[in-house]
Amino acid sequence: MRVLVTGGGGFLGTAICRLLRARGDEVVSLARNPYPQLDWLGVRQVQADVASLDAVLGASKGCDAVIHTAAKAGAWGTLEDYYQTNVAGTDHVIAACFMNGIGRLVHTSTPSVVHDGRDLEGVDERVPLASHFKAHYPRTKAIAEQRVRQANGPDLATVVLRPHLVWGPGDNHLLPRLLRRARAGRLRFVGKVSKLVDATYIDNAAQAHLDALDRAKPGADCAGRAYFISNDAPWKLDDIVNALLNAGGLPKVTKRISYRAAHALGRVLETVYGTLRLAAEPPLTRFVAEQLATAHWFDISAAKRDLGYLPRVSMGEGIGRMRDWFKTDEGKHLLAD
């Protein structure tokens, strides 16, 4: 089929494009910047923003399906910026599907939409959306997710995926910040003890989107629903971080800070950065402190049942691939950056 991937040049978007092309699908990417790796894959690139309805309409014309990964992530920025990309951009994707007669839409959300600051241990999709948020990212993603699910119907089958902590070779979001802070000696774990968290190896996260795409049909069990996606093997957060650092030849991190202190520091930094109108993300926010101090792992039985999803790359195998990747020119460059 012909598939539009919004955010096709991103970490997850590129992996999805690669899998689609490998099985013979025609792929169009909508992203704000051009990406050489997409040219190599034979992906047609449209350089534009999902905040433009005209751009989304043009890029999606003639497509059979859309995988919507484009989003503004992170824990800092204005509500307007997050809203324009995460909510208005999603509205444009939905509108383009209806206006161009596209019958399938897979939307990338986040488990953060259900995180209210407390431990989430083995919960499934029956857990409600959080009633309050400490960051614009999960707040706007929750709105977008609801709109995608509401758009499901006889003319458009929609599926929402919530992959948790996507990681792997080529990560340009979480991994660079982790490495920079570790090298600078500024990396700390939050809370008295390390909690269990889910993570998702990049190839597994990408495959889940193809699984959802193939089953997204009007009336299907998955239509109009949201699904947690992970490696189905929660690890202690300390162990995940130190395994990644070890793969890159960096020393183990053991220092901790109490949740109370981290939360207070996050509040102070948010106030200072907000007052001074600093564009850079603070070293710590209340949202990040909560994420680091709490357990969040999920029951993915529904994704296995309805989507046929199975994590094919284990956490251990993924760490091994990271070790090999750090020996490549790209990996060495990241370690030295």
Give tens-digit pLDDT for 247-287: 999 999 999 999 899 899 988 998 888 888 887 888 888 88
Residue with tokens 């119907």: 153
Provide the pLDDT confidence category of residue 288 given band limits of 50, 70 and 90. confident
* Tokens encoding 29: 């990417």
Q: Domain range holding 300?
A: 2-168+198-232+296-312
- What is the rounded distance in angstroms from the CA atom of residue 131 to the CA atom of residue 301? 25
SS3 assignment for 213-249 = HHHCCCCCCCCCEEEEECCCCCEEHHHHHHHHHHHCC
Provide the pLDDT confidence category of residue 185 given band limits of 50, 70 and 90. confident
Provide the pLDDT confidence category of residue 178 given band limits of 50, 70 and 90. confident
Provide the pLDDT confidence category of residue 291 given band limits of 50, 70 and 90. confident
- Of all residues in the chain, the percent with pLDDT exceeding 70 is 100
pLDDT for position 1: 93
pLDDT for position 15: 98
pLDDT for position 279: 79
Specify whether 137 is catalytic: yes
Indicate whether 247 belongs to any domain: no
Give the chain's mean pLDDT: 94
Indicate whether 274 belongs to any domain: no
pLDDT at 37 over 90: yes
Indicate whether 272 belongs to any domain: no
Would you list the DSSP string of 117-139? SS-EEEE-TTSPPPS--SSHHHH
Give the tens place of pLDDT for each residue, 142-162: 999 999 999 999 999 999 999
Provide the pLDDT confidence category of residue 335 given band limits of 50, 70 and 90. confident
Among the residue ranges 27-31, 193-197, 285-289, the one predicted with the least confidence is: 285-289
Provide the pLDDT confidence category of residue 187 given band limits of 50, 70 and 90. confident
Q: Is 189 helix (H, G, I), strand (E, B) or coil?
A: strand
Provide the pLDDT confidence category of residue 77 given band limits of 50, 70 and 90. confident
pLDDT at 337 over 80: no
Indicate whether 14 belongs to any domain: yes
| Number of domains, the chain | 1
Residues 6+ apart with CB under 8 A from 112: 135, 137, 138, 141, 291
What does DSSP assign to residue 81? H
Indicate whether 271 belongs to any domain: no
- What is the rounded distance in angstroms from the CA atom of residue 268 to the CA atom of residue 266? 5
Please calculate the CA angle 305-20-217 and round it to the nearest 5 degrees: 45
Q: For residues 12 and 206, is the Cβ–Cβ distance under 8 A?
A: yes
pLDDT for position 281: 82
Residue 30 belongs to domain with CATH number: 3.40.50.720
User: What does R_g of the chain's alpha carbons equal in angstroms?
Assistant: 19
pLDDT for position 74: 82
- What is the rounded distance in angstroms from the CA atom of residue 212 to the CA atom of residue 191? 36
The residue annotated as part of the active site, out of 137, 201, 227, 309, is: 137
Q: Summarize the confidence of residues 190-211 as an average pLDDT.
A: 96
Q: Summarize the confidence of residues 97-108 as an average pLDDT.
A: 98
Indicate whether 191 belongs to any domain: no
Indicate whether 15 belongs to any domain: yes
H helices present in the chain, as ranges = 11-22, 36-41, 53-60, 79-82, 89-99, 136-150, 174-183, 202-215, 237-247, 259-275, 286-293, 301-307, 315-325, 329-336
pLDDT at 75 over 80: no
Indicate whether 159 belongs to any domain: yes
Give the tens place of pLDDT for each residue, 207-237: 999 999 999 999 999 999 999 999 999 999 9
pLDDT for position 313: 97
